[in-house]
Structure 1
């Protein structure tokens, strides 16, 4: 069975100032999602599931409704603040969604096979999809997950600070922890992050998570159980977010899984800020001119 690609696309784009998931950045107005799906198709994925909000469903269906006909199946799951979850009678009121692990959870009835998770607004590189597809086809089990690890210095933005999950990896190549580092910037003094009001250095080649995960479908039940507890623990914390690394770290610490970190030396591209846009546009132009992508990924831009 071919693996599935789950694309988290329900973000608000508050720092970007708009719906960056559908902002054209390629030479012919292609969006980042289309490059990811193109790479997924040639790596051997069989289905794409978008996690989106109901209020952007129309825009997504208009853009992608017939875009991939005959090439890959497309489905949708919907994330809302009050998306029902078995085991929770009523979710507390809050103003923003519950986070990336909750976004994965809402797709539980759409996926029965090993699958990858990515962000809609990140470009991950051609080789990463090939590596992930091979893992999902050959090595994924209920106790063996994976993630693509990127070199920190190839994931930074010149337009502002970023947050990254810095990975701790064993000598066998297994993830032992993901530590979220905040306000990471590059300066003449090196790469640093902020903690407790001070700046601390990070190695340029430190492996970081860019939210490209490889999971067995048993992750849904593991996530559900932890979400039930998370909601109980944070009922009075309206800004608390339920992230994928929270689930993964707990499973690792309990000895329930091993998670292989697959190193990747490609440069990541993303649009955290509007100021990132010209650099990403130039990158896609260069990748196209180098022959890594055709002039038209899936026919004329919509």
Structure 2
């Protein structure tokens, strides 16, 4: 079995962040969040990284990553753009941004021949997640058995406001039954004045346990997923041609495959603490978190 590939979704414009956060420095030597992801992936046994980017990002991405990763892991680039002809769709549709995360994965097809893991560029997932996913991809993954990393909801919360999470319904065997996108998840006060986690829907608050498994866009696929995406994408485009905000999201694909009986998706539990960057205000929090991980020996002060 060949080493699995890491596919990094890095085509976002980071409009809320105010700059290209994919190459912003968070570590003591200006390490990016992607650097920590790749460092963990190499330790876990991944053999290749594919960056899915916009073509206008290529020069800055290559200048940031190519030299430091040379000889450590194979590097390739894929471009997410507006050209639908590559997916057999012979029409032009005016949009201000591409078609979402599942479309980004489709854009990597020519660079990926191995079992692979998909992650967000601006999310920090921790070594345990990469280690467990690498083992799954090399030992257990098949076209009918793929995976999502299942983070504990309480390890993905923000102290500063609402979050949205893909809440997984998991059966007794650890297989996903559904993924439901819950918005407006936040901390609230319980009856005993302790912090509890709730989501709000139609004016009602519903409590969620700390250890509820949630998807953070950390997926394990075989290349067969490209066939499924290709089957579904043209219909999605046809139905949403007049909706410039419609996005072809990854979680809808496993949810569809499970409900159609096309595949099982194992929800692999991890105790890793997730953190991510959406706003500039998040940066010092992430920097402090990384600093603590360096102090406790999880990472060296200089990665590469």
TM-score, length basis structure 1: 0.95
**1:201: which partner in 2?**
207
Instruction: Give the match for residue 296 of structure 1.
Output: 302
1:36 maps to which residue? 37
Is 1:272 aligned to 2:278, yes or no? yes
**2:217 maps to 1:211:** yes
User: Do the aligned partners of 1:83 and 1:106 also contact (CA within 8 Å) in 2?
Assistant: no
Taking the aligned partners of 2:57 and 2:160, their CA distance within structure 1 comes to: 27
**Is 1:115 matched up with 2:116?**
yes
Shift of 1:206: 0.8
1:161 positional shift: 1.8
Distance 2:92 2:173 in 1: 40
1:20 Cα deviation from its structure 2 partner: 1.3
Assess if the C-alpha contact under 8 Å between 1:157 and 1:276 holds in 2. no
CA 1:216 to 1:135, structure 2 compared with 1: closer, same or farther past 3 Å? same
Question: What is the match of residue 141 of structure 2?
Answer: 140
Residue pair 2:168, 2:178 contacting (<8 A) in 1 also? yes
Seen in structure 2, the aligned counterparts of structure 1 residues 34 and 83 have a Cα distance that, compared at 3 Å, is farther
1:42: Cα distance to partner?
0.7
| Displacement after TM superposition at 1:67 (Å) | 1.1
CA distance in 2, matches of 1:61, 1:83: 25
Partner of 1:12: 13
- Corresponding position of 1:241: 247
Going from structure 1 to structure 2, the CA distance change for 1:274 and 1:199 (only over 3 Å counts) comes to: farther
Q: Where does residue 179 of structure 2 map in the other structure?
A: 178
Does residue 1:255 correspond to 2:261, yes or no? yes
Instruction: After TM superposition, give the deviation of residue 81 of structure 1 in Å.
Output: 2.8
Q: Alpha-carbon deviation of 1:279?
A: 1.6
Shift of 1:83: 4.7
SS, match of residue 85 in structure 1: helix
- The CA deviation at 1:221 is 1.1
Structure 1 residues 207-229: Cα deviation after superposition (integer angstroms, max 9, x where no partner): 10000000000101110110111
- 2:193 maps to none
How many angstroms apart in 2 are the aligned matches of 1:198 and 1:28? Answer: 46
Deviation at 1:198, TM superposition (A): 4.1
Mapped partners of 2:283, 2:21: distance in 1: 10
Q: Is the 8 A contact 2:151 2:269 kept in 1?
A: yes
Q: Answer yes or no: is the 8 Å Cα contact 2:84–2:91 preserved in 1.
A: no
- Tell me the distance in 2 between the aligned counterparts of 1:173 and 1:151: 14
- Cα deviation, 1:110-135, whole Å, max 9, x if unaligned, reads 11110000000011011111100000
Gaps of 5+ in 2: 191-195
Unaligned stretches of 5+ residues in structure 1: none
Inter-partner Cα distance in structure 1 for 2:158 and 2:279: 8
Offset of residue 160 of structure 1: 2.8
8 Å CA contact retained: 1:4, 1:116:
yes
Q: Could you report, residue by residue, the CA deviation over 1:183-206 in whole angstroms, capped at 9, with x for unpaired residues?
A: 222233422223334443322211
What is the CA–CA distance in structure 1 between the aligned matches of 2:85 and 2:9, rounded to whole Å?
18
SS state at 2:286 partner: helix
Give the aligned CA root-mean-square deviation in angstroms: 1.3
The CA deviation at 1:87 is 2.6
1:268-290 CA distances to partner (integer Å, 9 max, x unpaired)? Answer: 01112222211211111111111
1:225-279 Cα offsets, whole Å, 9 max, x none, are 1011111111121111100111111111111101111001111011122222112
Q: What CA distance in whole angstroms lies between the structure 2 residues aligned with 1:274 and 1:20?
A: 9
> How many angstroms apart in 1 are the aligned matches of 2:92 and 2:113?
26
